[in-house]
């Protein structure tokens, strides 16, 4: 039986999961592929850190990257270090050496996806990155393979496990986000830099990759409006509970009349929304295709083994196409994104202070809005009608100016709502 040798770059959470999975399911993978997939070299900075892990005789730690990239017996490189500088050099080097590459690195794909895919194509090998978006949910393969006959019109998802875990705990246990973050980090879900999760950057990279695959162009993450969960408080969840709603961090991309909108932001949703029940570290994504209609995918979006499961699926696909490049249709043509000011939402707005005739005063600025009150609070909330973000900003600014001129407090919070 042929053996395909792999160099694993990095040996953290996902890499160790991949190592375990390839060992535990070795026979199954041999039967499915007809080849023996073998981790031959593991590139690490400090092998002592991993001395507690017993390697098979066929595998060894190396501290010189060239031992992985320049070894002709290695046909595949699996990059699981993260980051965009050194990881990019390694992926470039591997592709130029005509080695297939599998990675879980969304930052790298969002930054250099089309360039690296083109490099893979020129060298007759594949670059696969299923684990980079939604961990264990096979959404990337779904877009380029299962839904290849569709024009994708909408992608809405809970794409970050860490923030969904935090928001779920805040909602169910009334905790603040800082109290829950360390728990997510200990469980191996969180990125090295926690800002990547809580400020929405991770979800932004993921929706940039999905929107690029959907449009077959390049959606730059810099063009995607991104707001994380750091301003969401326990009080917001108290209103949400009263209203029978929840607050989730959404990554969204919509394609309408040839125009593409994309954003990452917390959104208030009702119980009827299919993503309402996606809780804890789970991810969920709703995809609309012009022929498909609507489909929803749900599962583990982060963590050692779910992510390793996606990495190994890519390894298997690359093994099956070891001598050829299979294009994914993601090109480097820039996809313009509609300014956020033109995107429409309803808005949940909390207003500090007491007003004599709340509805009437607020209607003047926001049009007809529903008022929501919590017992014993020196504030109230409104739910506006649908309007563009530009209209909302203008109304909010005028309202705040008036409130301040009367020594009232004005707007405390604004959360977009899909109700």
With CB under 6 A as the contact rule, which of the stretches 185-193, 216-224, 253-261, 402-410 interacts with ligand HSE?
Answer: 185-193
By CB under 6 A, is residue 61 in contact with ligand HSE? no
Minimum CB separation from ligand HSE for residue 408, in Å? 40
CA angle 317, 319, 323 (to 5 degrees): 110
138 binds, among ligand HSE, ligand NDP, none (CB under 5 to 8 A by kind): none
Residue nearer to ligand HSE on the CB measure, 147 or 181? 181
The SS3 assignment for 333 reads coil
Q: Which two tokens stand for residue 103?
A: 């990675």
Q: Of 206, 217, 248, 304, which is the active-site residue? A: 206
What are the φ and ψ backbone dihedral angles of 158, each rounded to 5 degrees?
-90, 105
By CB under 6 A, is residue 105 in contact with ligand HSE? no
Q: Which two tokens stand for residue 33?
A: 């592929």
Residue nearer to ligand NDP on the CB measure, 39 or 131? 131
197 binds, among ligand NDP, ligand HSE, none (CB under 5 to 8 A by kind): ligand HSE
Is 206 an active-site residue? yes
In angstroms, rounded to a whole number, what is the distance separating the alpha carbons of residues 389 and 360?
22
Question: Cβ distance 366 to 338 under 8 Å?
Answer: no
160 binds, among ligand HSE, ligand NDP, none (CB under 5 to 8 A by kind): ligand HSE
Q: Which two tokens stand for residue 125?
A: 């090998």
How many chain residues touch ligand HSE (CB under 6 A)? 11
Contacts of 131 (CB under 8 A, 6+ apart): 14, 102, 103, 104, 307, 308, 310, 311, 314
In angstroms, rounded to a whole number, what is the distance separating the alpha carbons of residues 181 and 27?
38
Instruction: Work out the burial of residue 245: count CB atoms within 10 Å of its CB; fewer than 13 is exposed, 13-18 middle, 19 or more buried.
Output: buried
Among the listed residues 79, 191, 223, 314, the single contact to ligand HSE using CB under 6 A:
191
Among the listed residues 79, 107, 197, 389, the single contact to ligand HSE using CB under 6 A:
197
By CB under 6 A, is residue 177 in contact with ligand HSE? no
10 binds, among ligand HSE, ligand NDP, none (CB under 5 to 8 A by kind): ligand NDP
Residues that bind ligand NDP (CB under 6 A): 10-15, 44-46, 49, 80-83, 86, 104-106, 131-132, 135, 188-189, 191-192, 302-303, 307
Picking from 379, 333, 301, 335, the residue whose alpha carbon sits closest to that of residue 130 is 301
Minimum CB separation from ligand NDP for residue 55, in Å? 14
Which ranges of 35-85 does DSSP label H, i.e. alpha helix? Answer: 66-69
Which ranges of 65-105 does DSSP label H, i.e. alpha helix? Answer: 66-69, 86-96
Catalytic residues: 206
Q: Which chain residues interact with ligand HSE by CB under 6 A?
A: 135, 160-162, 189-191, 197, 202, 301-302
């Amino acid at each position: 039986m042929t053996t395909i040798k792999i160099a694993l770059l990095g040996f953290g959470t996902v890499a160790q999961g991949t190592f375990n999975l390839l060992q535990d399911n070795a026979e199954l993978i041999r039967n499915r592929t007809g080849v023996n997939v073998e981790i031959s070299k593991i590139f690490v900075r400090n092998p002592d850190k991993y001395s507690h892990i017993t390697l098979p005789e066929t595998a060894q730690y190396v501290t010189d990257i060239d031992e992985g990239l320049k070894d002709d017996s290695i046909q595949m490189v699996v990059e699981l270090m993260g980051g965009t500088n050194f990881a990019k050099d390694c992926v470039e080097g591997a592709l130029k050496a005509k080695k297939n590459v599998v990675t879980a690195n969304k930052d790298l794909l969002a930054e250099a996806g089309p360039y690296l895919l083109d490099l893979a194509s020129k060298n007759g090998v594949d670059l696969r990155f299923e684990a980079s978006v939604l961990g264990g949910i096979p959404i990337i393969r779904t877009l380029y393979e299962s839904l290849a006959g569709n024009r994708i019109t909408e992608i809405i998802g809970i794409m970050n496990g860490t923030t969904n875990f935090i928001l779920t705990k805040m909602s169910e246990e009334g905790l603040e986000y800082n109290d829950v973050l360390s728990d997510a980090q200990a469980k191996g879900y969180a990125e090295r830099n926690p800002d990547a999760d809580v400020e929405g950057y991770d979800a932004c990279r993921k929706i940039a990759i999905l929107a690029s695959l959907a449009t077959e162009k390049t959606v730059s993450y810099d063009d995607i409006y991104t707001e994380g969960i750091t301003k969401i408080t326990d009080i917001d969840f108290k209103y949400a509970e009263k209203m029978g709603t929840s607050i989730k961090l959404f990554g969204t991309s919509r394609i309408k009349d040839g125009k593409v909108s994309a954003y990452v932001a917390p959104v208030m949703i009702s119980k009827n929304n299919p993503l309402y029940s996606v809780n804890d570290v789970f991810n969920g994504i709703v995809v609309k295709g012009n022929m498909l209609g609507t489909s929803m995918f749900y599962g583990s979006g982060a963590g050692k083994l779910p992510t390793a499961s996606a990495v190994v699926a890519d390894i298997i696909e690359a093994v099956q196409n070891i001598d050829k490049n299979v294009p994914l249709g993601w090109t480097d043509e820039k996809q313009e994104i509609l300014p956020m000011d033109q995107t429409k939402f309803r808005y949940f707005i909390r207003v500090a202070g007491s007003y004599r005739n709340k509805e009437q005063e607020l209607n003047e600025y926001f049009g007809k809005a529903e008022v929501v009150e919590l017992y014993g609070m020196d504030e109230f909330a409104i739910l506006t009608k649908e309007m563009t973000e530009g209209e909302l900003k203008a109304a909010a600014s005028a309202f705040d100016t008036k409130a301040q001129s009367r020594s009232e407090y004005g707007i405390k919070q604004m959360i977009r709502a899909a109700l």
